[in-house]
Amino acid sequence: MFEKLQIGQNKKLAFYLLLLLSLVGYYWLMYESPREHFFTLILIWGGLFLMYWLMIKSKPNNRDIWIAIMAFRAILLFAIPTHSDDIYRFIWDGILNLEGGNPFEKVPSEWMNMGSHALVQDEFLYKQMNSPEFFTIYPPVCQVWFTLGAFFYQKGGMLSAVVAMRFVTLLVEACTCILLFHFLDKSTKKLSLYALNPLVIIELTGNLHPEVWMVMGLIGSFYYLKRQNLFISALLFAVAVCAKLLPLMFLPLLLFYLGWRKALLYYLVVGGITIMAFLPYIDFETLQHLVESVDLYFRKFEFNASFYYVVRWIGFQVKGYNIIAKAGPALSLVTVTVILTLMVKSYFDKNGLNGYIKNVLVVLTVYLLMSPIVHPWYLTTLVMLGVVSEFKYPLIWSFTVILSYWAYQWADYHESMILIFVEYLLVFLFIFKEKSKIFE
């Protein structure tokens, strides 16, 4: 009895030692290590993932896990994002909303050239922005969040804006964790695989990416599908769509899971809420700008891709130039084909909610593998789906994706094809290892 108690106390002590070391790591990473310092980043990143694995292996009790979940996020409250410059576009869009403008109407460079007629001319934000020549792609839920940040930016500067946006983020992440906890039948061990994952903490809480809303909306939609409350599920799915348009491609997968009558009602709720959310912004011109932005995503931008880089290399050998304008949209057709294939498969398999979620995981995986651009925060949704459907390769990918940060050491974002090969080699090895679960 005494020995068991002593072992339990030793494990608890080890857990809190790991927690303390992790807190030091998160502080060092988010407050003291800009993304240009690749070797520092990879050292801290590796340490955080090692401690993440050891903490889970130590079998902590429920209370300890919840303390760690809150502590790792709370320490980042005052950290201004340095690993992503998206925050400056967020605040820019928010200022336009505050001034009665439409973020979808003009690109930032147009506003800067309008002189006294401009609704926003913030030199600091403009110089920090990574896409001043492109229209915003952030849907209405994001715009409301950005507006809050802009309000505090105008009152107290960048730190005030970040703290306000992060406070909302913490509330959204709390909702995500609670919904996921109940969806997983109150398994804190499974919850910890998501909620203690360093990628999730750094990219959602730390770098304030809108995927935080999408993850919450999707897990909420799954939870209420499980409870057979279609209206609340559709409402939360619409929240995910109004944060990132990406979940729209998951809607066809519901057809044979719900049956066409229920699926049609689900689509009407999601579509109705999405249209109402976009109404303050959308006319023909702004709709055209939004479509143009999405199209540019597939035709212009490249970062940390897998299959796309192989196709691009072939294009250089055959055509002698970068074929992104054709390769990007063409590879997206692979995802469409997978969606249609899984729809047919689900009609015959009748695998229920678990089958639907696994199909969502597969579609998102294929989409990311075919995409010309895969930023680390894109994987946070995949991590949640992997935990829910018990796949390990999203966790491996969440670790290896740090290798993509090699590119930020140079002003022109020079990528290392060797490191990208290593990143995806490890991912594909685990996908191959779990192939039987994917195709069952």
Q: What is the pLDDT of residue 9?
A: 66
Distance between CA atoms of residues 305 and 125, nearest Å: 28
146: in domain: no
396: in domain: yes
Q: Is the pLDDT of residue 48 over 70?
A: yes
Region of poorest pLDDT, from 1-10, 64-73, 251-260: 1-10
What three-state secondary structure class fits 107?
coil
40: in domain: yes
Q: Is the pLDDT of residue 332 over 90?
A: no
pTM assigned to the model: 0.94
* Segments in 58-157 forming alpha helices (H): 62-74, 86-98, 108-112, 123-128, 140-156
Helical packing angle, 352-370 and 324-349, nearest 10°: 170
**DSSP state, 106?**
S
113: in domain: no
Q: What is the pLDDT of residue 116?
A: 66
Q: What is the pLDDT of residue 297?
A: 67
Cβ count within 10 A of residue 16: 16
95: in domain: no
97: in domain: no
142: in domain: no
What does the block give as tokens for 239?
A: 């929240």
Q: Which domain holds residue 423?
A: 2-83+161-439
As a whole number, the mean pLDDT across the chain is: 91
Q: Of 12-16, 63-67, 328-332, which has the strongest mean pLDDT?
A: 63-67
Q: Is the pLDDT of residue 5 over 60?
A: no
Q: What is the pLDDT of residue 346?
A: 82
Arithmetic mean of pLDDT, 38-43: 96
pLDDT band of 6, cuts 50, 70, 90? low
Q: What is the pLDDT of residue 282?
A: 79
Region of poorest pLDDT, from 118-127, 223-232, 416-425: 118-127
Summarize pLDDT for 98-148 with one digit per residue, the tens: 999 999 989 999 999 887 677 888 999 999 998 888 889 899 999 999 999
Q: Is the pLDDT of residue 30 over 90?
A: yes
pLDDT band of 12, cuts 50, 70, 90? confident
Q: Is the pLDDT of residue 329 over 90?
A: no
State percent of the chain over pLDDT 90. 72
Q: What is the pLDDT of residue 95?
A: 95
Question: Domain total for the chain?
Answer: 1
Report the candidate in 114, 115, 120 with the shortest Cα–Cα distance to residue 98. Answer: 120
133: in domain: no
Q: Is the pLDDT of residue 2 over 60?
A: no
Distance between CA atoms of residues 140 and 137, nearest Å: 10
Q: What is the pLDDT of residue 231?
A: 97
Q: What is the pLDDT of residue 228?
A: 95
